[in-house]
Amino acid sequence: MKLAIITVTKKAKGKGVEVKKLLTPTNKFETIDIFTLSKYSDDKTIPMDKGFKDTVSKVFDRYDGLYFIMASGIVVRTIAPLLKGKDIDPAIITSDEDGKFIVSLLSGHLGGANKLASLIAETIDGIPIISTASDVSGSIAVDIIAMKLKAHLKDLESAKDVTALIVNGEKVELRLPKNMLVDQYSFTSSENKEKDTTGIVVVSNKQNIMMTQIIPKNIILGIGCRKNMAAKTILDAIELTMKEHNIHMDSIKHIATVDVKSDEIGLLEICNKLDKKLIVIGRDQIKPIQDNYEGSDFVEKTIGVRCVSAPVAYLSSNKNGKFITEKKKYNGVTVSIYEE
């Protein structure tokens, strides 16, 4: 790695010289150059004869990493016009003049700023400040997988989306050729093992990879609503809840409700619109299990049972699945999602 240490004060220059002296024996850097204002320059540094901004613009693409010993705000405003993309920009780190806090500011993964900040912090007894979500959560990002394999990311946007799934605790599967190995902990940890797959990372040298999706009809929707509820409100509640849990509308098997809602016009319209059968569950069936779910005194006073959406979803299912969400409330509508 080629590293440029950039300073604008006498104290920062001194810290830069110290850092270079400590980093050189690590043999991890091809070159380490220290830039400072002309009035502070000596035989150990390179003078910024044309000023700070001009120097930064000239060295930005010539070094793999830039270490600014100054306030982050100055750095952000200076490098902003030079940025091209996370797969191109160099690692940018900053620190205070005492080297107490080493901040990974830009290109944390692909540029190596996180690793560089950690190395410098360890070397000078500082504290690395790493804010990338995957590092903070202890999981692994897709771009780190690419780095470990010395491979190229085909699409940064999809890599970001899949990394978000990993960080959020979703199950993401990694598909590797047999001759490639990489730490798969974050993809196969016990927390994720029982979850359904929401993302796939495919490592392949093929130009085109054909993929398709088959959507099972294994989702039961339990619906409760106020009397004379508008069809649009019911549909909005269903779509909002399904989207929140990343469940495809085509996976709905049927909709269930309580017997007193069997002629609810808005609900019947939605069943017709979605082409789904309405399963009606009697209150006598709900009563024995109603205490297993969140209930309401008002609902019990009105229709004689404490809850509707969760028990009807369960009772109309094969009873071998699980709730994705037991109850979601939306403008007088309750939605329960049960997966068989």
Query: pLDDT by residue (tens digit) across 298-326?
Result: 999 999 999 999 999 999 999 999 999 99
Residue ranges of the chain with pLDDT lower than 70? Answer: 133-139, 147-148, 150, 176-195
Determine contact, residues 300/277, Cβ cutoff 8 Å. no
One-letter amino acid of 72: S
Distances 143 to 24, 127, 152 between C-alpha atoms, Å: 28, 24, 9
**What's the pLDDT at 11?**
95
In the sheet where 65-69 sits, what is the strand order? 46-48, 31-37, 2-7, 65-69, 91-95, 101-106, 127-129
pTM over 0.85: no
CA distance 28 to 253: 58
Annotated domain spans of the chain:
2-131, 142-202, 219-339
Q: Look up the CATH number of domain 2-131.
A: 3.40.50.11220
Look at residues 98, 107, 116 and name the one whose alpha carbon lies nearest to residue 141. Answer: 107
**What's the pLDDT at 186?**
46
Asked if the domains 2-131 and 219-339 are classified in one and the same CATH topology, the answer is: no
Q: Residue 104, CB half-sphere, CA atoms under 13 Å: how many? A: 25
Domain 219-339: which CATH class?
alpha beta
